A and B are shown apart, each in its own frame.
Chain A
Amino acid sequence: MSEFLEFKDVSKHYGSVKAVDHVSLTVKQGEFFSLLGPSGCGKTTLLRILAGFEQPDTGRVLLGGEDVTDLPPYERKVNTIFQSYALFPHLSVWDNIAFGLKVAKRPKKEIKEEVGKMLTMIQMEDQAWKKPDQISGGQKQRVAIARALVNKPRVLLLDEPLAALDLKLRQRMLIELDLIHDEVGITFLYVTHDQGEAMSLSDRIAVMKLGKIEQLGTPAEIYEAPRTSFVAAFIGDTNFFDGTVAEPLEKNSVLEGFLSVAVDKDYSRLKIEDFPDLECYNDKQIKEGEHVFLSIRPEKLRISRERPAAAPHLNVIQGKVEDVIYLGSQTKYWVRTGDYRISVIRQHSRFLLDEKPIRWGEQVWVSWHADDGFMLEKYSEQDENLIQLPPEEVGETTESNQILVRAPAPGAVPAGAAPR
């Protein structure tokens, strides 16, 4: 039974807003599956449909082959961890955990045993008689997990469970959640807007936007090979170049004065307005004349004071350092070239302190291998606008998700708004 949980063509409207738009999705037994997307993308609605709090307008939900679409929440073998934990304030930790079993009228002895086991698992045996307002946020979180798991649900639903915790605690709970998942082996359906959480925990991720699934895959697939510019921008940092595909590179073609030994149509040249041509691996065989985004992750870029030696498929551009952000393990540079502000991340090696560090205002060379960039088709209006989206609309984690490359020069019109 590998196709364990199945959403079949599920839709849900609120008035004229399509919260979930014909989503089909299957989750395997025991999988840690994440629904990732900005607020309002429909991820929580999908989870609530599975929990039974919302009825879909169309489509069916299958759990272990059984149609559960019309069952009320209390008859579904799924349990939810709520964002606010929703612990019963009038009941002790012990009674909170025992609630599900008591409602199911299980024998007293069994309840005692099972609750005891859960308390041991969350290491709160000595706090069993405290009320929820007497324990810390992290402990509330653990009680909420125990309260759900004690019922041995077939799927555990987690609705932004770490959102209310501070950073340190969040990182610790992340590890604990992972351990718990390994231990109990049930299917987890995890809803989050935090790409970091989703990346570190999930077996597979569905990235959602406007009620639809943009891309579904393992964290590595989604990071390394985003299918759309939205996904590229939402997962991790990236630089976007807005260009048009030019002719494929022939053998021994010359790019910007350097010899390039390209073969067939594997590599294409990209024409970018007011910018030197760039070379990119064209695995999708995007045709000449198409308008595309070239996306390149900051850590794939190299920065140097000297012009790097020419090599096949190496893109080299010159720019001026506008900003240097020292982050301890790495340094982030913002390099200005024409209209573009390129973000470069450089991992520190041991001899960083020996060499003269690159400073603000210096002329530098940024280079990358054509294989490290990827071309993304601009196939919808929304993607056209993506480059101008404020960070909170793209990803709620602001700075780290900053994707603006073509930042307007002072006094200039907004990026991409008008040709200059």
Chain B
Amino acid sequence: MKPSRVPLIVTWAVIAFFYIPIVILVANSFNSSRFGGSWESTSLKWYIRLMDEPSIWHALTNTLIIAGAATLISMVLGTSAAFALHRFAGSQLQKLHYSIIYTPLVLPEILMGLSLLLFFVQLKVQLGLATIAIAHVTFCLSYVAMTVLARLQDFDFAIIEAAQDLGAGWWTTVWKVLLPMLAPGILAGGLLAFTLSIDDFVISFFVAGPGSTTLPIKIYSMIKYGAPPLINALSTILLVITFTCVIASQYLSNRGRKAA
């Protein structure tokens, strides 16, 4: 019997559904026409125009600073959380801990954004880069923790004993064995956190202050004042960064799994 073609057709349909809008956006970013309706000629004109927009550069810098900071903090906190979750798995406290870590992954962003805003206002914290970064840590941390936890679950702890058996003290063991072995997992989680932070709009929108416009917020405001071709170019750049991070993250976690 010939294998059914249905699964293949469905797969392609889903892929098309997901990616055709993105392809249109990317293609249009190379269209020299001011309006997306017709194709004039292929050009990099919008990318060049992008270079002359200082406010965009400012927003990009903000975004990268926030993403960098949020990623680093969540890598440290997320890894520690994963250790606690794994080491004391089964205790009631850690079950609660797991729920707390897991919740941000499913909580509506608008809710998180709003609650964070109220929180900062209550504490009379000046809204700005710092508040966005902290807000991003709240959900980035969960992704790092989950990625590292997955790695810990198929980690052979005899290896830690082996290191101690060979004369390594606790710090040497952590530094020379544990961290190098978990590094792919931690980095994969970090990259995931990085992309999420760069892309985040809803939460950033709530907790952003004057002068702390991020790229997604900038794109949103540009749409309001209408500069579609420029946005297409900007979005394409954002897309490239995101894809690179995701692919790198997947590569790292696969490589790490194979090694463990």
A residues sitting closer than 8 Å to B (CB atoms) are: 51-53, 72-75, 78-80, 82-84, 86-90, 99-100, 103-104, 131, 133, 147-148, 151
Contact = CB atoms under 8 A, between A and B. Distances in A.
Interface stretch (B30-38, B134-142, B158-166, B200-208): B158-166
Given A52-B165, A89-B260, 6 more contacts: A52-B164, A74-B167, A82-B162, A99-B163, A131-B259, A133-B258
Interface string B237-260: 000000000000000000000111
Given A53-B161, A82-B162, A89-B181, A104 B259 contact: no
Nearest to B184: A90
B156 A74 contact: no
A36 B242 CA distance: 57
A151 B166 CA distance: 8
Q: Which of B159, B166, B169, B259 has the most CB of A within 10 A?
A: B166
A88 B172 contact: no
21 contacts: A51-B165, A52-B164, A52-B165, A53-B161, A53-B164, A73-B161, A74-B169, A84-B156, A89-B159, A89-B259, A89-B260, A90-B259, A99-B168, A100-B166, A100-B167, A103-B166, A103-B167, A103-B176, A133-B259, A147-B166, A148-B165
A80 B177 contact: no
B226 interface: no
Contacts of B156: 84, 86
Contacts of B211: none
Nearest to B172: A103
B181 A80 contact: no
A340 to B, nearest CB: 45
B259 A79 contact: no
B168 A74 contact: yes
Interface of B: 156, 158-159, 161-169, 172, 176-177, 180-181, 258-260
5 shortest A-B CB distances, which residue pairs?
A: A100-B166, A86-B162, A86-B158, A73-B164, A89-B259
A80 B165 contact: yes
Contact of A88 (B164, B165, B181): B181
A51 B159 CA distance: 14
A90 B166 contact: no
A6 B172 CA distance: 30
Contacts of B167: 74-75, 100, 103-104, 151
Contacts of A131: 259
A280 to B, nearest CB: 48
A148 B166 CA distance: 7
A148 B167 CA distance: 11
Contacts of B158: 82-84, 86
Contacts of B258: 133
Contacts of A87: 159, 162
A86 B180 contact: no
B159 A88 contact: yes
A83 B158 CA distance: 9
Contacts of B164: 52-53, 72-74
Contacts of B172: 103
B181 to A, nearest CB: 5
Contacts of A89: 159, 181, 259-260
Nearest to A99: B166
A195 to B, nearest CB: 25
Contact of B163 (A72, A88, A151): A88
A79 B168 CA distance: 12
Contact of B165 (A79, A83, A104, A133): A79
A77 B260 CA distance: 28
A103 B2 CA distance: 62
A136 B105 CA distance: 41
B17 to A, nearest CB: 39
Nearest to B181: A90
Contact of A86 (B159, B168, B176, B259): B159
A104 B176 CA distance: 13
Contacts of A86: 156, 158-159, 161-162
> Max chain A CB contacts within 10 Å: which of B158, B165, B167?
B165
A78 B260 CA distance: 26
Contacts of B177: 88
Nearest to B165: A80
Which of A79, A100, A103 is the most central at the interface, judged by chain B CB atoms within 10 Å of its CB?
Answer: A103
A74 B167 CA distance: 4
Contacts of B166: 74, 79, 99-100, 103, 147-148, 151
Contacts of A84: 156, 158
A86 B159 CA distance: 5
A82 B164 CA distance: 13
Given A88-B181, A89-B260, A90-B180, A73 B159 contact: no
Contacts of B161: 51, 53, 73, 80, 82, 86
A84 B163 CA distance: 14
Contacts of A73: 161, 164-165
A82 B158 CA distance: 7
Contacts of A90: 180-181, 259
A133 B259 CA distance: 7
Contacts of B169: 72, 74
A147 B166 CA distance: 8
A401 B159 CA distance: 33
The residue among A53, A72, A74, A82 with the most chain B CB atoms within 10 A of its own CB is A74
Contacts of A74: 164-169
Interface centre among A51, A73, A78, A87 (most CB of B within 10 A): A73
B163 to A, nearest CB: 7
Contacts of A53: 161, 164
B170 to A, nearest CB: 9
A131 B119 CA distance: 50
A32 B181 CA distance: 35
Nearest to B179: A90
A74 B172 CA distance: 11
